[in-house]
Amino acid sequence: MTGDGLISAYVNEAELDAEASVRPKRLAEFIAQHRVRDQLDLLLKGAMRRGSPPDHILLSGPPGLGKTTLANIVAAELGSGIRVTSGPAIERSGDLAAILTSLAEGDVLFIDEIHRIAKPAEELLYSAMEDFRVDVVVGKGPGATAIPLDVEPFTLVGATTRSGLLTGPMRDRFGFVAHLDFYSPEDLEALLHRSARILGVPITDDGAVEIAGRSRGTPRIANRLLRRVRDFAEVRAEGVVNRETAQAALTVYDVDALGLDRLDRAVLGALVDSFRGGPVGLSTLAVAVGEQPDTVEEVCEPFLVRAGLLARTPRGRVATEAAWRHLGRTPPNGTFGTDAPPAPDLFSASPDQP
């Protein structure tokens, strides 16, 4: 795996088994997201006392923060089965009807990237969520008939990385909506110690601090970096993950102290060296680094903006003073952000937004 894939927050199909091995199975084991965890605990315990399924649950937030893990935890806490699918996989309303009618009473249906579900399937889902009933249309034209089918009471858990793309009617049908925030360094360190125990990897406190600092506030990235540092420690060191081993390993994998990879640094380098800090248009910047514009916009820019290294302005992308200094350059007078106060620590602990 290259450095570019190493710090991507999106899941890699090849690492699903490795991810599953370190995922918490119960709410009490889930690290961080304290407010969301407490609210879910109340929701699930109240439903179990009443003997009825809990309200439908919507989880939003950037990739890699634990939405899929929480969906599986909901099913485990309820002691029910779970069916897993994704929005893009449901192309027709019949696909969704087949899934819904196969659910047992109390089951959890998890739909990842629910904002990408097809419109006909979304409209079918409305009646299933509210009335536990679906109308399947048989035939075409004037002779078409709608056959009502009852659905066993279930709980829908929807996950989305782009909650703004959800329609109003869909969002309104969720009784519980939670937003997952990025993890603080302290929470990532606790997560790394837990994962290391499960994987049988000796890790020191300073080793966990080093990996957490390069993980972009994302547990999926932290666990991935831990596995790569483990490989380095077993092959080229004494098998213990400490600060020196982590630094050496992540240098090999081209992940710097801020968690930037080759492409991130190429974007900043092009802005600073080729365009004197900007502003420059997205397409021009993408050509300069040899990537597609959507790759630069969707993969690189979110973290660079969040870290205070790049700014999006009406005239184009601009490198901030922090970007110049991170690359070891002296920012010229008038650089974007020169007179601005220091950026806050974006990964410090903050209340979760329900």
Residues 279-325: pLDDT tens digits?
A: 999 898 899 888 898 888 888 888 889 888 999 889 989 999 999 99
- The pLDDT value recorded for residue 76 is 94
Residues known to be catalytic: 67-68, 112, 161, 220
pLDDT band for position 204 (50/70/90)? very high
Establish whether 317 is an annotated binding residue.
Answer: yes
Say yes or no: 31 and 172 in one domain: yes
- Which range of residues forms the domain containing residue 147? 26-179
Q: What is residue 10's predicted lDDT score, i.e. its pLDDT?
A: 60
For 8-49, what is each residue's pLDDT tens digit?
556 555 555 666 778 899 999 998 899 999 999 999 999 999
**Proportion of the chain above pLDDT 90, given as a percent:** 49
Domain final residue, candidates 253, 276, 294: 253
Q: Is 64 annotated as a binding residue?
A: yes
Say if residue 3's pLDDT is above 60: no
Averaged pLDDT score across all residues of the chain: 85
User: Has 228 been labeled as part of a binding site?
Assistant: no
- 131 is an annotated ligand-binding site residue: yes
Q: Does 306 map to a domain?
A: yes
Note the pLDDT tens digit of each residue in 85-129: 999 999 888 888 889 999 999 999 999 999 999 998 998 899 899
Q: What digits encode the pLDDT tens for the residues 44-77? A: 999 999 999 999 999 999 898 999 999 999 999 9
- Is 14 or 265 the better-scoring residue by pLDDT? 265
| Whether residue 240 sits in one domain with residue 96 | no
Within-domain flag for 15: no
Q: pLDDT at position 107, please?
A: 94
Q: What is the CATH number of the domain that holds 200?
A: 1.10.8.60
Give the 3-state secondary structure of the chain. CCHHHHCCCCCCHHHHHHHHHHCCCCHHHCCCCHHHHHHHHHHHHHHHHHCCCCCCEEEECCCCCCHHHHHHHHHHHHCCCEEEEEHHHCCCHHHHHHHHHCCCCCCEEEEECHHHCCHHHHHHHHHHHHHCEEEEEECCHHHCEEEEEECCCCEEEEEECCHHHCCHHHHHCCCEEEECCCCCHHHHHHHHHHHHHHHCCCECHHHHHHHHHCCCCCHHHHHHHHHHHHHHHHHHCCCCECHHHHHHHHHHCCCCCCCCCHHHHHHHHHHHHHCCCCCECHHHHHHHHCCCHHHHHHHHHHHHHHCCCEEEECCEEEECHHHHHHCCCCCCCCCCCCCCCCCCCCCCCCCCEC
Note whether 119 and 243 are same-domain residues. Answer: no
69 is in an annotated binding site: yes
Among 253, 279, 302, the domain-final residue is 253
At residue 337, the pLDDT reads: 54
Query: Is 194 within any annotated ligand binding site?
Result: no
Q: Which of 152-156, 166-170, 330-334 has the lowest mean pLDDT?
A: 330-334
Express each pLDDT in 315-353 by its tens digit.
Answer: 989 999 999 999 888 877 655 554 444 444 444 444 444
pTM (predicted TM-score): 0.82
